Amino acid sequence: MESIQTQEINLMNTKLRNTGIVTETKQTKKISFEGKADILKVYKIRLDQLYYNDKNDRIATYVNKYQIEHGIDRFDFSDLKKYNKIIEEGIRQSNPSEYENTKQNIKVNGQQEPGIVLKDGRVIDGNRRFTCLRDLSEESETYNYFYAVILDRNYDDSEKSIKLLELWFQQGLEPRVDYGPIERLVGVYRDIEKNHLLTVKEYANITSTKLSTVKKNLEIAKLMVEFLEFIKCPEQFYIAKELSLDGPIRELNLILKRYKDDKIKQNKVKFTGFTYIFMPSKKDKTRLIRGMKEIVESDLFENEFLPEVQDIGIEIVDKINSEKKSNKLPTTEIINKVKSDVELKTTLDKSYQKADQKTKIANLKSKPMELLDDALKNIDGLDKLILGRLKAEQKKEIAKSCNAIQAKLSEIMQIVND
């Protein structure tokens, strides 16, 4: 049985202690963390004393794009007003319809669910509600406060501590539907592979996710990073989101698994997949990559399909490099410019259609042989001793079936011999 105690917070130990900034309410909120459950008092906190959690995976691609476009590695927290203005746009963009729904709900009913903040004012849970209130506060001072519990434990401000809290309260307690697939992949990659904040097991435990799922997502996240390097946009994760990379990259990963013991073949498949994922196509990208599996398994992959695609892939990379050197357009515009090359797109589509058609014809031609092989194996599997012990009526039924098979075989032999 878990122990639940109402936590008293000493506001003198927080940065939110000035009169009028924080007001105690009669509300409480139950939270659980690291196996311990507490009922915490809810406080009414003035909005200008709070700031967004930049470690939030929901806005990972937005933050990534902003930092790259403005040439910064870290945000300046000395001017919270400016910092909050930057981040709030990412919150709105993460799910515009859900944002508007929440905003209208707060406008009509007030803030119903308290958020969670740290002692220094960092919002760990409730970023959307915080943003809605910031918007509404411009209409009326009534909305100038955020209702939240204040975590009064001795958390340090290290990147790992903040990330653990963010994962626990944003993902660990219940599935959050507004976390996009790319944001999840970015979070897994950064937290486990790049920054080494967490092990795979720690990440699985804190987010209540199966260990196998985290391992798979990390595998796919690494492939996503390789793709971004292929198109000369290293770790520009917002590009992955703009290209809707999640479905196609997962399908490509499934194909690559078939060649885990053949690195040379795997690299050829990877190059081919990356080229098709990048360029627009009439076909849905996920289905296109899924359909590529049969082409890759065919004889024409190495001899015909791959050489054509390699030429196009190399040309794509060269064009991206050339555009980056010749002008100072934002990366998104350069990518869109190269993707809009009609000649490249048409040539790539024709190569796929030709290979797909030839593969289907080859598979149709090989199908009769496969069926006959299966039939022969089934007949070989019959136990002759058991057949000899069958009752007369059962033997008649088998004889009837054998005659039917012989008749079908005679038809096939006649077609083959003509």
| Shared domain check, 13 and 64 | yes
Q: Is residue 252 part of a domain?
A: no
| Shared domain check, 392 and 296 | no
**pLDDT at res. 166:** 79
Q: CA nearest 63: which of 26, 36, 101, 89?
A: 89
| Shared domain check, 403 and 327 | no
Phi first, then psi: give them for residue 245, nearest 5 degrees: -75, -20
The string of pLDDT tens digits covering residues 149-180 is 998 765 555 678 788 887 877 765 544 545 78
| Shared domain check, 305 and 410 | no
Q: Is residue 333 part of a domain?
A: yes
| Shared domain check, 16 and 116 | yes
| Shared domain check, 98 and 10 | yes
Domain residues for the domain of 345 are 280-371
The answer to whether 286 touches 252, Cβ cutoff 8 Å, is no
Q: Is residue 396 part of a domain?
A: yes
Lookup: tokens for 45: 């906190």
| Shared domain check, 138 and 17 | yes
Q: Which regions of the chain are under pLDDT 70?
A: 1-20, 34-35, 153-158, 171-178, 363-367
Q: CA nearest 243: which of 174, 382, 339?
A: 339
**pLDDT at res. 175:** 46
Q: Is residue 110 part of a domain?
A: yes
Q: Is residue 322 part of a domain?
A: yes
Phi first, then psi: give them for residue 104, nearest 5 degrees: -65, -35
**pLDDT at res. 292:** 93
Residue 207 makes CB contacts below 8 A (sequence gap 6+) with 167, 168, 171, 172, 214
Q: Is residue 407 part of a domain?
A: yes
Choose the final residue of a domain: 335, 350, 371: 371
Q: Is residue 296 part of a domain?
A: yes
Task: Write the secondary structure of the chain as one string of H (helix), E (strand) and C (coil).
Answer: CCCEEEECCCHHHCCCCCCCCEEEEEEEEEEEECCEEEEEEEEEEEHHHCEECCCCHHHHHHHHHHHHHHCCCCCCCCCHHHHHHHHHHHHHHHCHHHHHHHHHHHHHHCCCCCEEECCCCEEEECHHHHHHHHHHCCCCHHHCEEEEEECCCCCCCCHHHHHHHHHHHHHHCCCCCCCCHHHHHHHHHHHHHHCCCCCHHHHHHHCCCCHHHHHHHHHHHHHHHHHHHHCCCCCCHHHHHHCCCHHHHHHHHHHHHCCCCCHHHHHHHHHHHHHHHHCCCCCCHHHHHHHHHHHHHCCHHHHHHHHHHHHHHHHHHHHHHHHHHHCCCCHHHHHHHHHCCHHHHHHHHHHHHHHHHHHHHHHHHHHHHHHHHHHHHHHHCCCHHHHHCCCHHHHHHHHHHHHHHHHHHHHHHHHHHC
Phi first, then psi: give them for residue 385, nearest 5 degrees: -65, -40
Q: Record the pTM.
A: 0.77
Q: Is residue 150 part of a domain?
A: yes
Asked whether the CA dihedral 75, 81, 82, 86 is positive or negative, the reply is positive
**pLDDT at res. 239:** 94
| Shared domain check, 131 and 108 | yes
Distances in Å between the alpha carbon of 51 and those of 78, 140, 282? 11, 20, 44
Domain count for the chain:
3
**pLDDT at res. 189:** 96
Choose the final residue of a domain: 100, 133, 155: 155
| Shared domain check, 411 and 347 | no
| Shared domain check, 327 and 290 | yes
Alpha carbon of residue 378 to chain centroid? 44
Choose the final residue of a domain: 348, 371, 394: 371
**pLDDT at res. 3:** 38
| Shared domain check, 137 and 13 | yes
d(CA 27, CA 41): 6
Phi first, then psi: give them for residue 284, nearest 5 degrees: -60, 130
| Shared domain check, 389 and 361 | no
